[in-house]
Amino acid sequence: YRIAVFASGQGSNFQNLLDASRTGDLDAEIVLLVCDKPQAFVVERARRAGVECYLFNPKSYARREDYEAEIAAELEKRGVDLVVLAGYMRLLTSVLVEPYAGRMINIHPSLLPAFPGKDAIGQAWEYGVKVTGVTVHLVDGGMDTGAVIAQTAVDITPDDTLDSLEAKIHDAEQRLYPQVVSWFATNQVRLEGRKVTILSE
């Protein structure tokens, strides 16, 4: 099972998926990293691990559709089964969304539909909610709007700080994302509109 990871930043989720794949905990291979920020640390992680990278600078293209068409060709060439967004900080157009409908997922650090967009952990912290969490969802053209596949709740307790909350959220992400990818790899995900069912659950 062949996956491509799209990321723009630190790449802790990329690293976690890579580790799970290399230890055999996850029966899937990362065949490509797609990154819009050549200086991002995730690129260094991929290089160290010998994972192929497709790097691009969005500013060199007139339209989003133009670089996405190039990405689509790279995915096609490698027979990618699932596209995994992990801190990829751009919206996608139909050039990628349509061919990968039902086969493209994102992880977001809140319980959607609460706190979509940037800095979801900070938004939840400022709002003062007692429970937040992590969502894995299908990708459509909107901002964190696709059908929900799985969620993990994280309590915000009186002793938490923004830093400790971030740590708890990232732990929850690292448990949830490989699990969801493995559901796809073993063909256990059924889609019916916005209703997503996992056969093994």
Query: What are the catalytic residues?
Result: 108
Near ligand GRF in 29-68, by CB under 6 A: none
End-to-end, the C-alpha distance of the chain in Å comes to 21
Question: CB 34 → ligand GRF: shortest distance, Å?
Answer: 13
Stretch that binds ligand GRF, among 22-30, 106-114, 147-155, 191-199 (CB under 6 A): 106-114
- Residues sharing a CB contact under 8 Å with residue 90, sequence separation 6 or more, in sequence order: 8, 36, 58, 64
Q: Is 20 in the site for ligand GRF (CB under 6 A)?
A: no
The response to whether 13 counts as a known ligand-binding position is: yes
Q: Is 107 in the site for ligand GRF (CB under 6 A)?
A: yes
The response to whether 91 counts as a known ligand-binding position is: yes
The response to whether 182 counts as a known ligand-binding position is: no
- Residues sharing a CB contact under 8 Å with residue 76, sequence separation 6 or more, in sequence order: none
User: Judged by CB, which is closer to ligand GRF: 33, or 75?
Assistant: 33
Near ligand GRF in 111-170, by CB under 6 A: none
Of 160, 164, 155, 157, give the one whose Cα is nearest residue 134.
155
Q: Is 87 in the site for ligand GRF (CB under 6 A)?
A: yes
Which two structure tokens, joined as six digits, stand for 138?
């299908």
What is d(CA 89, CA 7) in angstroms, rounded to the nearest whole number? 7
128-134-140-144 Cα dihedral, nearest 10 degrees:
20
User: Judged by CB, which is closer to ligand GRF: 87, or 178?
Assistant: 87
CA 37, chain centre distance (Å): 16
- Residues sharing a CB contact under 8 Å with residue 190, sequence separation 6 or more, in sequence order: 196, 197, 198, 199
The response to whether 89 counts as a known ligand-binding position is: yes
Residues in binding contact with ligand GRF, number by CB under 6 A: 13
User: Judged by CB, which is closer to ligand GRF: 39, or 187?
Assistant: 39
Question: CB 108 → ligand GRF: shortest distance, Å?
Answer: 5
Q: Do the beta carbons of residue 53 and residue 31 sit within 8 Å?
A: no
- Residues sharing a CB contact under 8 Å with residue 122, sequence separation 6 or more, in sequence order: 162
* Annotated binding residues: 11-13, 64, 89-92, 106
- The residues of the shown chain that bind ligand GRF, judged by CB under 6 A, are 7, 9-14, 86-87, 107-109, 173
* Annotated binding residues for (6R)-10-formyltetrahydrofolate: 64, 89-92, 106
